Structure 1
Amino acid sequence: MLANEMNINPKDNPLFLKTLEYHMQNPEISLKEHLKNRVVELGEEVLRYKRVYLDLNFWIYLQKASFGRPEKIEHLELYKILVKAVDDGKILCPISQPIFLELLKQSDETTRVPMFKMMEQLSKGVTIQTEDERRSTEIVHFLKQNTLGSKSIYPLEQLVWTKIPYVLGYHYPDNEVAPKEQMLLIQKAFTDWLWTCSLEEIPEIFKKTNRFHLIEMTPVSDKINQGKFAHADQINSYKKAFMVELVGILDLYKPRMNDIWCEMYKNETGKDISVEDKNFLLKSSSDPLGALILLAFEKNRITTQLPTWRVGTSLHAMYRWDRNRKLKPNDLYDFDHAKAALPYFDYFFTERSLKNLVTTKQLSLDKIYSTQVVSDEKEAIEVLSKL
């Protein structure tokens, strides 16, 4: 989504003008540094709460309960307990990109605004960053942790949160004609303004950008199943399946890996990498960063690091290894929820089939990340009542 398509008029936004004035007096701070400061500050606040990830079904249960039409009496009780726990400052229910997109599909114009109000109430306007952003953050954190040490960097769990207007990713106004210094001031002020927007205002942004097609996710399960059965004889263990899956995802992310190298080089030297060297990285068949990650997983040196990478690869590997399992389109949505929830939330409320998968002895992802996975409404009520 392009921020400059929103047709925002600064005259209509006093906060925009106020923050613009501040940034005019502090021009030395880069956009990246400004956003990082925002994220670090928000992350510190988020980590004060117990974090509860609600998957699509639970949000729908709560929506109906909030309308006074619960499917079960337990849904109404769960809704009341969640609202009270949030109001008491005990928990937070941040949303995620897959939740936001799926709920847009489920809601119509009549129910969408009330749904957004409820989500705003339970999330306090917080969302976990997109999967792509988390993958990049995790790689940079992994490299810094192994070079600078854990005491020299922020905890990873503090760096993955943002505000709901950025639920689909970060976006800024841009204008190639405007002077760079002026555009930087506008971008930072725009970030401050959007940081305060509520979830109810998001549909207006979508209307202006005309990007509702973003919510359509093309199922790739058939293609994955074809590849699985075509090469089934090559997989003789779960570890083999895991490494095959990891090689595949690292190959897809190679361009982003190269960008990370370039960004870290600039941070260390203050200089951009030369065009020739960047082109060499793009054309090179070698991937030193990917090779490092492969080796770390191969030698079992990864514990809780690179969690989005590990959870996603683990789930796909289980389907590849088990010849009787066939991947369904909805499984891909479930995987997205698991990749966000397990590493960064204290509780994961989801459906029974996904709970059974992530808690298998082979994966034990709930134990690795110390996340309690719950699939029953009564159990969810019991868990929250003990907080």
Structure 2
Amino acid sequence: MARQQPQAYAWPSLLHRQEAPLRLVYLDLNHWISLAKAATGHRDGDRRKGALEAVRDVSSAGTALFPLSATHYMEMSGIQDPRQRADIADVMEELSGFTTLINRTILMRYEIEAALDEMLGSASTRLDPLPLCGRGVGPAFGVHGGLRIKSKDGRDVTDSARSSWLQGPEAFDAWLSEAERQFERGILRGPSDADVPVLNLRGWDPRVARVGAKKRVEQEIELSARLDAEPQWRRGRLRDVVSGRYVAIELLDLLNETITDRKLVTADIFASREAARRFADSMPSADVHITLTTAAHRNRDKQWEPNDIFDIDALSSAVPYCDAVVTERHACHVLQSTKMPAKTGTKIMARLQDLVSWLDSM
């Protein structure tokens, strides 16, 4: 049976949970690291052995799945020790099977359409049905289709290669499946120390993800400075400020495209302050993103880092669409204090031991 979602949001009906009846459980990187330590016999892993056994049990029983996100791949690229990356990647592969949540930008596109459908009482047919989860790094970053074989002139010759494969089509399928598995392993693990010099010569730069996050950090620092200059906003309508910036920075291009396709104008959507609030708050991932960002800006001493951007992005997708999320303590506190579990229908926890208890109650 598919997950029953609360009705307050404009849930995108075109996003499908093909994994049902599996429970989707999202773990932030710190908890993956803890499980990897338990799996490898690390001295800090003893207290996590019970959690590792529990998640392995539900994974092998086919009752829970632990999907990855684009954030995991970006954070993994920042770990410098190849051995540590490999240990974490092994556990990720075992429990996720390389299942990934769809790209956040695509998710936002579907939420915009659903929010406008509800606001205008219409039903758009602009988008096709899409699974919430895909397999591998491609769907996490908005790329679909898997590995394909191309000729020298760029033509897709996968089908012809399959039909003419010496050992037959089934052997080709097995070869391609193994090639995809090795590709996904390599992406998660990253290069060995011996590979780095050659990759550097070819332009490889593991800092690219953090460069993008750093630019977004600068935007938050700029907002923080403005709030320092006008402190009444931190005490008052801070959420309106954050919400307006979210629409302007994160959604504007997608929103303009959608409005144009529907032959609307901006005033049709933002006719009043209340309408603007309803629009932003009706999108599940937007609500989570705005809630976490608003809480961060309440604290004038907050020091923004790229990891803050990674965490907020990941949670904005995982909290509304997974059955359970295990994250760090502060984010857990913010989400629970703002009643997010009741709004999204998601169990939100800060400890692996809490996850074990929840799994036992399934």
Instruction: Give TM-score scaled by structure 1 length.
Output: 0.67
In the TM superposition, what is the alpha-carbon distance from 1:209 to its structure 2 partner?
7.8
Partner Cα separation in structure 2 for residue 301 and residue 254 of structure 1: 13
Deviates more, 1:192-201 or 1:69-78: 192-201
Partner Cα separation in structure 2 for residue 120 and residue 292 of structure 1: 48
In the TM superposition, what is the alpha-carbon distance from 1:117 to its structure 2 partner?
2.7
Q: Could you say which residue in structure 2 is the equivalent of 1:29?
A: none
Find the partner of 2:84 among 88, 111, 129. Answer: 111
Contact 2:115 2:279 in 1 (8 A): no
Structure 2 residue 336 is matched with structure 1 residue 359: yes
In the TM superposition, what is the alpha-carbon distance from 1:324 to its structure 2 partner?
5.0
Q: Structure 1 52/153 Cα, relative in aligned 2: closer, same or farther at 3 Å?
A: farther
Counterparts of residues 169-188 of structure 1 (less than 5 Å) = 169-170=142-143
Q: Could you say which residue in structure 1 is the equivalent of 2:62?
A: 89
Partner Cα separation in structure 1 for residue 272 and residue 288 of structure 2: 14
Which blocks of at least 5 consecutive residues in structure 1 are unaligned?
1-38, 266-276
In the TM superposition, what is the alpha-carbon distance from 1:50 to its structure 2 partner?
0.8
In the TM superposition, what is the alpha-carbon distance from 1:69 to its structure 2 partner?
1.4
Q: Structure 1 292/69 Cα, relative in aligned 2: closer, same or farther at 3 Å?
A: farther
Q: Structure 1 97/131 Cα, relative in aligned 2: closer, same or farther at 3 Å?
A: same
Partner Cα separation in structure 2 for residue 342 and residue 358 of structure 1: 9
In the TM superposition, what is the alpha-carbon distance from 1:380 to its structure 2 partner?
2.1
Counterparts of residues 126-145 of structure 1 (less than 5 Å) = 126-145=99-118
Find the partner of 2:248 among 251, 276, 282. Answer: 251
Contact 2:86 2:189 in 1 (8 A): no
Q: Structure 1 229/59 Cα, relative in aligned 2: closer, same or farther at 3 Å?
A: same
Q: Could you say which residue in structure 2 is the equivalent of 1:241?
A: 238
How far does the alpha carbon of each residue in 1:303-361 deviate from its partner, in whole angstroms, 9 at most, with x for none? 7x4111111112222333x355525324333322321221011111112211111111x
In the TM superposition, what is the alpha-carbon distance from 1:364 to its structure 2 partner?
1.3
Counterparts of residues 6-155 of structure 1 (less than 5 Å) = 43-69=16-42, 71-106=44-79, 108-145=81-118, 147-148=121-122
Deviates more, 1:329-338 or 1:307-316: 329-338
- How many matched pairs? 311
Q: Structure 1 159/307 Cα, relative in aligned 2: closer, same or farther at 3 Å?
A: farther
SS of match in other structure, 1:51: strand
Q: Whose helix proportion is higher, 1 or 2?
A: 1
Give the percent of matched residue pairs that are identical in Structure 1 and Structure 2: 18
Q: Could you say which residue in structure 1 is the equivalent of 2:11?
A: none
Deviates more, 1:87-96 or 1:125-134: 125-134
SS of match in other structure, 2:270: helix
Partner Cα separation in structure 1 for residue 248 and residue 101 of structure 2: 25
In the TM superposition, what is the alpha-carbon distance from 1:144 to its structure 2 partner?
3.9
How far does the alpha carbon of each residue in 1:60-109 deviate from its partner, in whole angstroms, 9 at most, with x for none? 10111111215243311111111110110110110111122112222522
Counterparts of residues 175-214 of structure 1 (less than 5 Å) = 197-198=180-181, 199-202=184-187, 210=204, 212-214=206-208
Contact 1:319 1:326 in 2 (8 A): yes
Partner Cα separation in structure 2 for residue 374 and residue 65 of structure 1: 20
Deviates more, 1:85-94 or 1:121-130: 121-130
In the TM superposition, what is the alpha-carbon distance from 1:379 to its structure 2 partner?
2.0
In the TM superposition, what is the alpha-carbon distance from 1:127 to its structure 2 partner?
0.9
Partner Cα separation in structure 1 for residue 293 and residue 67 of structure 2: 25
Find the partner of 1:337 among 308, 314, 318. Answer: 314
Structure 2 residue 125 is matched with structure 1 residue 165: no
In the TM superposition, what is the alpha-carbon distance from 1:201 to its structure 2 partner?
3.7
Give the letter for the 1:354 counterpart. A
How far does the alpha carbon of each residue in 1:254-310 deviate from its partner, in whole angstroms, 9 at most, with x for none? 222223345x45xxxxxxxxxxx9xxx9xxxx7347627964453x5777x411111
How far does the alpha carbon of each residue in 1:25-77 deviate from its partner, in whole angstroms, 9 at most, with x for none? xxxxxxxxxxxxxx96xx44223211111012101101111112152433111
Contact 1:165 1:194 in 2 (8 A): no
Give the letter for the 1:165 counterpart. V
Partner Cα separation in structure 2 for residue 289 and residue 163 of structure 1: 38
Q: Structure 1 86/213 Cα, relative in aligned 2: closer, same or farther at 3 Å?
A: same
Partner Cα separation in structure 2 for residue 373 and residue 293 of structure 1: 33
Partner Cα separation in structure 1 for residue 232 and residue 334 of structure 2: 23
Q: Structure 1 211/47 Cα, relative in aligned 2: closer, same or farther at 3 Å?
A: farther
Partner Cα separation in structure 2 for residue 351 and residue 137 of structure 1: 28
Counterparts of residues 304-383 of structure 1 (less than 5 Å) = 305-320=282-297, 322=298, 326-329=302-305, 330-360=307-337, 363-383=338-358
Partner Cα separation in structure 2 for residue 241 and residue 289 of structure 1: 24
In the TM superposition, what is the alpha-carbon distance from 1:212 to its structure 2 partner?
2.8
In the TM superposition, what is the alpha-carbon distance from 1:214 to its structure 2 partner?
2.7
SS of match in other structure, 1:197: helix
Contact 1:246 1:294 in 2 (8 A): no
SS of match in other structure, 2:180: coil
Instruction: Give TM-score scaled by structure 2 length.
Output: 0.71
